[in-house]
Amino acid sequence: MSNIVAIVGRPNVGKSTLFNRLTESRKAIVDAIPGVTRDRHYGKAEWNGYEFSIIDTGGYVHGSGDVFEGEIRKQVELAIDEASVILFVVDVTTGITGLDETVAQFLRKAKKKVFLVVNKVDNNERIAQASEFYSLGYNEIYCLSSLSGSGTGEILDVVVKEFDTTELQPEEKLPKFAIVGKPNVGKSSLLNALLGNERNIVTPIAGTTRDSTNTRYKHYGHDFILVDTAGIRKKAKVKEDLEFYSVMRSVRAIEDCDVCLLLLDATEGIESQDLNIFHLAERNRKGIVIVVNKWDLVEKETQTTKEYEEFIKNRIAPFRDVPIIFTSTLTKQRILKAIEMAEEVYKNRTKSIATRKLNDVMLPLIENYPPPSIKGKYVKIKYITQLPTYAPTFAFFCNLPQYVNEPYKRFLENKLRENFDFTGVPIQVFMRKK
């Protein structure tokens, strides 16, 4: 991760549009309202055979008392610390503002390679207007339009010259764990507690995190990608466009990950919206670990943990084979246990069982408890195999697949779980004609 480019500047100069252009994605939310980007947002880009990371930051506002702007300022400073090259973005349509001068002054202290990028230059008249930005003290300015992409090649040519001359390497396949849950249950706090720094903005205001952010975690023998997502709310509560996009991004994060760490608030229990997220992950055949956060705030008796666990399992039934970890991000209690369990679930999800072993174990069980006869017809299951899919899927070959009912499929699923350990992983069972 030595080649890192940070995009910084005052609010609303088009930093996120440039980020999307350079990463060839639509990861960063773009809106005309200033202050949309709150967390550092990471993406990958490739140019002339070199791969590098790009960080999109919130608009830098110096000396503001606003809670979000103060946190954004801290995030920008962290991004600059991490970066090897900085793209300082300004807006040709507004000219130089006091905030641009403040950012320029701040960047001079950073002692990093800074390129001044004049954005929204999409005609010859604006090229002439861009010359006023030389007064910020830079020998060279780079005119581009992040919306159309013109001029981005020129800036990338000079940026990659500053990098370590390492040829593009194929990205290794790492497990992806998504931290999901409704707003304000402590998702970003969990990420910060794991990483030991303020990677994401944390405030008591629900909906602080609007983008999904990826972070590689490589400590204590663990190596995986953590995805922190915006809180998912009920559709009726998605009032502003921004929150709608955030919800979509969280749904996409669930779709793209391997294991979901579903955070619950211990003081509120498991609510209908938590169940919606659980079933969304289940429908997408993702591994699931339920993490009950704020456990330090709950008054406990001898059986409190067991009773709470049983209550959750009854609510998520029939898929009850899910690990439940009780944590506190504030005291860092059992947060590493949650990660270890996520890794176990990932192994279960990628597990492949030999066909012979599968038949040796399952066929005697089926013989002792065969499918019930329907209309005088008897179902005979002859053969079982695991299908080559991304999540555990099994095909049971029989003479009359249409007569096997759902309760019997659940029985087969439970026997697979008992004998082969698929804790935390949804299983699909299909009946096929032999």
Number of helices and strands (H, E) in the chain?
12, 15
pLDDT-based confidence at 35, cuts 50/70/90? very low
Tokens of 317: 């039934």
Please provide residue 250's backbone torsions phi and psi, each rounded to the nearest 5 degrees.
-70, -40
In the numeric block, the tokens 């809106």 are attached to: 31
Query: Which helix (H) or strand (E) segment is 241 a member of?
Result: helix 241-256
pLDDT band at 68 (very low <50, low <70, confident <90, very high): very low
CA atoms of 201 and 189, how far apart (whole Å): 9
Report the range of poorest mean pLDDT among 49-58, 269-278, 283-292. Answer: 49-58
Which of 24-38, 62-76, 320-334 has the highest mean predicted lDDT (pLDDT)? 320-334
Alpha-carbon distance of 51 to 168, in angstroms, equals 5
Whole-number percent of the chain with pLDDT over 70: 78
Tell me what pLDDT residue 242 has.
40
Q: Is the pLDDT of residue 29 over 50?
A: no
Report field, pTM of the whole predicted structure over 0.75 = no
Range among 65-79, 143-157, 221-235 rated most confident: 143-157
d(CA 151, CA 200): 31
Mean of the pLDDT values across residues 248-273? 82
Looking at every residue in the chain, the average pLDDT score rounds to: 81
Judged by average pLDDT, the poorest of 85-94, 203-212, 316-325 is: 203-212
